[in-house]
Chains A and B, each alone.
Chain A
Amino acid sequence: MKVGLLGLIVTASLLALVPVPASGQSAAPKAPPYNPPRTEDGQPNLEGIWQPRTSGAAFSILPHAGGFFLGGGSETGVVEGGTLPLQPWAAAKAKELTQHMELDPTGHCHYEGIPHANYFPFQIFQTPKYIAVLYENMHARRIIYMDGSPHPRDYLAWMGDSRGHWEGNTLVVDVTNNNDKSVFDMAGHFHSDVLHVVERFTPVDKDTINWEATIDDPKVFTKPWKMKFPLKRAPQDFEMLESGCFEGERDAEHLVEGLATVPKDHYTEKEKEKEK
């Protein structure tokens, strides 16, 4: 009953809020597209420290209730349409993985991989030949080569291999060579070693980049799918500090099979209905 009431309040407030800006927008003339400042060599300048607004994607990329391991809840998640086109075996495995948090690679201080690393603050540096993205979390890093060079062969990595190009003001990054060990979140959503991610970083105002990714993995999904969230510029006095993560095996004793599980009400009603 309490949940129902909360739902009513949320719905009511959404109903109250949404139409106002919508009608305002339809009346106003269309704003010209944002033209970002340029670097010395003419690239759209995306440099700075960016903080993603991910609606708790690190916990689950799908709509999820809040809870101990799932942090704050999110009604939308970051996946377009709110569901994943999982193949039946993959859906079963994902569900099983939620009961095995001890296998979560981030719990073992591994690189998160792409897109998972993007859920945490990072700093972008742009040089004429490459763009470096340095993440605070796990002190992860990737170098996006912009010189048109091909992906390497016979090499798999946690962070994959990133090669990029510009489409207008949008930085498009092609990520392949991913290993099959990184995951999308803590809710059991995984991928295989043929994962192919195409990311699009589009600056929309001086403090916002719209980030969007197409996830392509025919071993796990039935079709490609999309996820997106905005990145906000960090306040000027922010600096990237060191995140060590691996301070020794003091947590090993806590990584007991089945100890940490996803709350039972994790999956939304919509998904439960689908399963029936």
Chain B
Amino acid sequence: MVKELKSAFLLVAIVAALLATSSPASAQAIRPKLGPSYVAPRTPDGKPDLQGIWETRNAAAFDVSEVAEGHEIPYLPEALDREQKGPRVDPIAHCKMPGVPRITYMPFPFQIMQRPGYVVFMYEYLHDQRIIQTNSRPHIDGIDLWLGDSVGHWEGNTLVVDVTNLDERSWLDSARHTHSDALHVVERYTRTGPNTINYEATIEDPKTYTRPWKISMPLYRNTEPGFELREQECTEGDNGRPIHPLYRPAPKGDPLELTREYPVKKETSK
């Protein structure tokens, strides 16, 4: 009896030891690799699937040096001087679009949609949008836009977006980090897991910085069930005169029920 118990114990011990050594290995085999080598699911046309609602979780919108490589922005002395003498009011305070890359790290969610030949960014902030063609077409000529001209292409698992034609008036953050009209941004979006994208942007502007510099940050998927982008409107109080209060309380009840009753006609027919 004792012998049987002993052998049973031994068996359990062996099995436990085997499990202890083998389980991490087997778990790893099942779990997809995270990080830069993560292979993202594909869209029907075979491109990495970046679709969904994403958001940053950092304070870059307030000070972009937080997410800059080495926490440093390599300013030219004359650019610093220009910045000191330039406008002191954040353009977004006047409801202007924040520009690229700032729109990415505004503290609002955004939705990525993919169609063959297109990647579309729909930002909740200021209902901004970027319709990006992934055909590497040449940049448009002669117009500067708040969100610039974005042209995309795929490099393996990564969406690369080349952005030029950016309006010199936009700021990189509310700490008044500025740039010139020579700004050139190259963004890289790489899925690193089921709910994460690594976002990286190279910021180049020979009129403002001594060298190109980089920012990077993770984008997190909003996994709240039923979460949808809502309307964010900025010009509600232009001229300091509140005309249209944002998000007025809705009438109670079913919005469809509310519209079914018409006032009864005073005059009856015939």
Residues in A lying within 8 Å of B, measured CB to CB: 40, 47, 87, 105, 108-111, 123, 125-127, 132, 134, 139-141, 143, 145, 149, 151-159, 161, 174, 176-177, 179-181, 193-196, 216-218, 221-223, 239-242, 244, 246-249, 252
Q: A110-B244, A139-B127, A154-B250 are in contact. Are A246 and B234 (CB under 8 A)?
A: yes
User: Is there an interface contact between A125 and B145, defined as CB atoms closer than 8 Å?
Assistant: no
Q: Which of B202-259 contact A (CB under 8 A)?
A: 226, 228-231, 233-235, 238-239, 243-244, 247-256, 258-259
A132 touches B113 (CB 8 A): yes
**Of B120, B239, B251, which contacts A194 at CB under 8 A?**
B251
What chain B residues lie within 8 Å of A252 (beta carbons)?
Answer: 238-239
Query: What's the dominant secondary structure at chain B's contact region?
Result: loop
Name B143-178 residues within 8 Å CB distance of A.
143, 145-147
Q: Which residues of A contact B95 (CB under 8 A)?
A: 109, 246
Binds A, one of B20-28, B29-37, B62-70, B260-268: B260-268
Cβ of B129 under 8 Å from chain A: yes
A-B pairs with lowest CB-CB distance, top 5: A176-B255, A157-B231, A196-B259, A242-B145, A218-B262
Tell me which of A156, A216, A240, A242 contacts B248 (CB under 8 A): A156
Given B127, B129, B256, B265, which contacts A111 in the complex, CB threshold below 8 Å?
Answer: B127
- Say how far B28's CB is from chain A's closest CB, in angstroms: 33
Least Cβ–Cβ distance between A224 and chain B, in angstroms: 8
Q: From DSSP, what is the main secondary structure of chain A's interface residues?
A: loop
Check B233 against A111 for contact (C-beta < 8 Å).
Answer: yes
- Chain A residue nearest to B258 (CB atoms) is A194
Find B143's partner among A139, A151, A241 (CB 8 Å cutoff). A241
Residue numbers in B under 8 Å from A127 (CB-CB): 51, 113, 115
Closest residue of B by beta carbon distance from A224: B262
Instruction: Choose from A105, A125, A247 the contact partner of B244 (Cβ within 8 Å).
Output: A105
User: In the complex, what distance in Å separates the CA atom of A111 from the CA atom of B128?
Assistant: 12
With contacts A40-B44, A155-B247 taken as known, whether A108 is within 8 angstroms of B235 at the C-beta atoms is yes
Residues of A within 8 A of B238 (CB): 108-109, 246, 249, 252
Least CB distance, A258 to chain B, in whole angstroms: 17
A47-B115, A110-B244, A158-B231 are known contacts. Are A244 and B262 too (CB-CB below 8 A)?
Answer: no
A163 to chain B, nearest CB (A): 10
B265 in contact with A222 (CB, 8 Å): yes
Q: Is the CB of B122 within 8 A of A132?
A: yes
Min CB distance A151 to B, Å, is: 5
A-B contacts besides A159-B231, A223-B262, A244-B96, 9 pairs, CB < 8 Å: A40-B44, A177-B250, A181-B244, A193-B251, A194-B255, A218-B260, A241-B145, A242-B145, A246-B235
Residues of B within 8 A of A145 (CB): 228
In the bound complex, CA of A105 to CA of B236 (Å): 10
Whether the pair B255, A153 counts as a contact (CB closer than 8 A) is yes
1/0 contact string of B88-132 vs chain A (CB within 8 Å): 000000111100000000000001010100101010001111010
Within the assembled complex, what's the spacing in Å between the Cα atoms of A176 and B252?
13
In the complex, A154→B255 CA distance in Å?
9
Chain A residues positioned under 8 Å from B260 (CB to CB)? 218
Given the complex, which residues of B lie within 8 Å of A217, measured CB to CB? Answer: 259
Q: When the two chains form their complex, are residues A222 and B262 in contact, meaning their CB atoms are under 8 A apart?
A: yes
Nearest Cβ on chain A to B25's Cβ, whole angstroms: 38
Q: How distant is the Cα of A249 from the Cα of B263 in the complex, in angstroms?
A: 41
**Contact of B244 with A156 in the complex, beta carbons under 8 Å:** no
**Given known A87-B263, A111-B127, A249-B94, contact A242–B147 (CB-CB < 8 A):** yes
B146 touches A242 (CB 8 A): yes
Which listed residue, B96, B229, B255, touches A196 by the CB 8 Å rule?
B255
Q: Are B259 and A194 in contact (CB under 8 A)?
A: yes
Separation of A212 and B256 alpha carbons in the complex (Å)? 19
State in angstroms the CA–CA spacing of A109 and B147 once bound together: 17
26 contacts between A and B (CB under 8 A): A111-B233, A125-B113, A125-B120, A126-B115, A134-B120, A139-B126, A141-B127, A143-B229, A153-B254, A157-B230, A158-B231, A174-B256, A176-B255, A194-B251, A196-B258, A216-B259, A217-B259, A218-B261, A218-B262, A218-B263, A239-B133, A241-B145, A242-B145, A248-B94, A248-B96, A252-B239
